[in-house]
Homo-oligomer: A and B are copies of this chain.
């Protein structure tokens, strides 16, 4: 992801569900292009660290929010690309994607004729408040889409395991890059 410019500076973080109530998540302040095991830590689904001497990333709360809501989710990725940043800054509360073959990477979409409405929420340094906004969007009908954008900040995508989460992230980044190009024409 670093080579593609998706995790500039210390932006971006990743997580994997290890089992019931245990989530491995990247720690705060590490550059994600140079990850080592020391950059990972284990928290419960409320974001509380197993090793109390380690500080979880501020955005751990968003990863845990995904695992609490989606029992089938096994991995979550947070990226920070140029198309995501530029489009989310200009979007209203959703970005619609339709007519792309790659929509088939998302669950329940067997055809490119589908359309998805990707939620966009305002950025907020208060992560608990931000997570509450995300949950309200899920309750209002966005829960079928395994991803959302935070304005000027990045994207969250999840899947049953890391390959599926990565595949969905690749598909989403590709379609958003196409949208950005198309809007320049």
Task: Identify the A interface with B (CB < 8 A).
Answer: 5, 8-11, 31, 80, 82-83, 85-86, 89-90, 99-102, 105, 110-113, 123, 125, 150-154, 163, 167-168, 170-171, 173-174, 177-178, 180-185
The answer to whether A112 touches B9 (Cβ under 8 A) is: no
Across-interface contacts of A8 in B (CB, < 8 A): 102, 170-171, 173-174
Across the A-B interface, give the 6 residue pairs with the lowest CB-CB distance, nearest first.
Answer: A101-B153, A8-B174, A9-B171, A9-B170, A86-B181, A99-B152
CB-based nearest B residue for A174: B8
Q: Can you name 12 A-B pairs with beta carbons within 8 Å?
A: A8-B102, A9-B174, A11-B101, A11-B174, A31-B163, A31-B167, A86-B178, A86-B182, A86-B185, A90-B182, A100-B153, A113-B125
In the complex this chain forms, how many copies of it are found? Answer: 4
A127 to chain B, nearest CB (A): 12
| Complex CA–CA separation, A85 to B175 (angstroms) | 9
A104 to chain B, nearest CB (A): 8
Among A5, A10, A86, A110, residue most surrounded by chain B Cβ atoms (within 10 Å)? A86
| Complex CA–CA separation, A5 to B151 (angstroms) | 25
The answer to whether A82 touches B152 (Cβ under 8 A) is: no
CB-based nearest B residue for A126: B111
| Complex CA–CA separation, A31 to B111 (angstroms) | 19
The answer to whether B183 touches A180 (Cβ under 8 A) is: no
A157 to chain B, nearest CB (A): 12
